[in-house]
Amino acid sequence: MLNMATKAFFYTIVLLFCFALEAQTSVPSVSLHGNCGTDLPRFEEWFRDTRLAQGQPYVAAQDRSHKTITNYPNLKLQMSMSEVEGYLGKPDFAMGMPAARLAKASEPADQRCSVETAYIFNKNGENMADLQDVAIYLFFSRDGKLYWAMPQNLPDLKPFGSPSGEAANVQSQILWKEYIFADDGFAITLPSDPHPHKNPQVPNGGMAYSVPLSSGAHFSLYTEEANDKCADTVRSQVGNAKSTAESRGFTVISFREIEGTGYAGVEFVQKVPTSKIDYERWICAAHRLYLFAADWNPNESEPKELQRIVDSWRVVADK
């Protein structure tokens, strides 16, 4: 998701531009097998039982946050879920990923599931993969062992392990595929399901699509309705916003116009006041504005999947 300062600034630009701002089909390239039930709530169940469901921010109890954050450095790779819970307590929610195989391949003998668990400390909306959340995400392989730990917006905690563990390796090699979202007029190739959902931050509606990247960052794509002057307005006005951004503490690293069949827009990379490197691409097609977003720490390289994802995006028949 956009950095909050960035988002506030550029959404203001969108409003000034006066933009009038589920059906999914996907290539059946893989099959998923296995019972991935856990004894933990799914995200939807957890969300429903918090104040988030009434539009209020979620803040974890102070004693729970203190215990989890204090004990996090005790975690080690290859710990079991029960060993981890002995230090951190029960996660807020979990998501199981069944064994994956190519659609024409034989069923795998091992149908156990990999599991992602989440400890949430601060959250403001319904986007499960919101980059503004304060959280710890833990990833367990099909044999129940911790292979990747990823704190988010907790600068005193360090990630460890790697998404190149068994479960993530299966996803990266098999689940990359093209997703087609005809209602929003685009197709894109991604390493996992982006779980499309309504974007509550757009007053007059819009959709959000998000996937985690191997670097620990997330890629998000947001859609909004736009009028037929979208492309001209973005080209003429966002360039002016470049100097305005710098006056507000944004350091522009790169900025360029882009165009393709049926669309035009701009792409830029900047360092924002929180010291994150922020990537954005704004594209205007026939009836929609598409906003691509990702960010990462300045001492890290650009997420290796980002360019593949961005380059794969294409316009399809827009409803």
Residue 187 maps to a domain: no
Please give the pLDDT value at position 73.
94
* DSSP string covering the chain: ---HHHHHHHHHHHHHHT-----EEE---EEEES----SS--HHHHHHTSGGGGT--EE--HHHHHHHHHHGGG--TT-BHHHHHHHH---SEEEEE-EEEETTSPPPS----EEEEEEEEEE-SS-TT-TT-EEEEEEE-TTSBEEEEEEES-TTS--EE-TTSHHHHHIIIII-EEEEEGGGTEEEEESS----EE-TTSTT--EEEEEE-TTS-EEEEEEEE--TTHHHHHHHHHHHHHHHHHHTT-EEEEEEEEEETTEEEEEEEEE-TTS-EEEEEEEE-SSEEEEEEEEE-TTSPPPTTHHHHHHH-EE----
Number of domains in the chain: 2
- Proportion of the chain above pLDDT 90, given as a percent: 32
Please give the pLDDT value at position 49.
92
Q: Are residues 41 and 166 in the same domain?
A: yes
Q: Are residues 18 and 35 in the same domain?
A: no
Q: Are residues 287 and 152 in the same domain?
A: no
Please give the pLDDT value at position 239.
57
Residue 181 maps to a domain: no
Q: Are residues 152 and 274 in the same domain?
A: no
Residue 302 maps to a domain: yes
Q: Are residues 39 and 13 in the same domain?
A: no
Q: Are residues 145 and 34 in the same domain?
A: yes
175 pLDDT tier (thresholds 50, 70, 90): low
**Domain extent at residue 234:** 4-22+196-315
Please give the pLDDT value at position 88.
95
Residue 178 maps to a domain: no
CATH classification at residue 278: 3.40.1000
Residue 96 maps to a domain: yes
Q: What is the pLDDT of residues 207-220, one digit of tens each?
A: 899 888 876 788 99
Residue 141 maps to a domain: yes
**pLDDT, average across residues 233-245:** 63
Please give the pLDDT value at position 5.
39
Please give the pLDDT value at position 281.
93
Domain stop point among 138, 173, 208: 173
Q: What is the pLDDT of residues 65-115, one digit of tens each?
A: 999 999 999 999 989 989 999 999 999 998 877 655 444 445 545 456 788
